[in-house]
Structure 1
Amino acid sequence: MKKQFCVLVIENPLGDRKASTQLENAGCYVLTASGCENALNKMPEYVDAVVIDAETPELCTQTALQQLKARAPRTGIVVLAGENMLSLVRGALRAEEYLTIPCMDQDLLPTLERCFLKSQKGFIAPERSALIFSRTSHAISIS
């Protein structure tokens, strides 16, 4: 049996944008956290990617991202941010990918795949992306 693609999603639990739900529907194994501190307590080394909603109550800082990277150094990070916040986040947080929210239905999975393939994990084992990305034909959305 193939292992599922594992994503840690850091999002606002009170928000209406649920990347975690959308990724679960696409077939990912999803761990959720309400902030970077919580994520650091939950994050296993084997996570394939991290998705961070920049509007979480406990905003992830560059220091927190460095700690996440230290925990799983080969893991890529996607930062989701509203259009008005994206330029600030892009300058403050170094991630493999950024995505403006609300995003188009078809954007999250391709962005996640690019993130994974840019990461050291994706470089070492690009075939892992086939666990989700090659078999997902339906669109997902975050609104």
Structure 2
Amino acid sequence: MFGKGLLTGMLITLKRFFGRPNTVQYPDERLPMTARFRGGALTLDINSCIACGLCAMACPNQAIGLATTVDESKKKRLTSYIHYTGLCLYCNLCLEACPVKALTWDQNYEAACYLRQNLDVDCLAVARRRLALSAAAESALTEGRIVSG
């Protein structure tokens, strides 16, 4: 039949035109990220991190800078942990190299900034701030200032 390809194409076009849209209006609507999303910044669990440095050694671009000290009980402690997101390939090698799984990706995919210096994330300071906020929320909950429910 003459024009069969044209009719097939028009049928597909009409189905897509009246079907469910595949796109979202980005600033107003945001898609939830999946659990396997690689991006954003590294989230460091300072309670489980043993400061071994394997994550920094596994990084092919040296996008992780960490410094450690040895305390009086001969244990290594983190003094700084910087994730240079401008250099990061998001290859996941740092997460795979961590023996205690202290690193994860956050689910924030909005990483745009105006200055290159703002791409450097101090993961240790962010983790301490997150712990302080959770401790403050827990104490407020136990004191009865926050009603859960």
Q: Give the shorter-chain TM-score range.
A: under 0.3
What TM-score, normalized to structure 2?
0.25
> More helix by proportion, 1 or 2?
1
User: If you compute each CA radius of gyration, which structure gives the higher value, 1 or 2?
Assistant: 2
Structure 1-normalised TM-score?
0.25
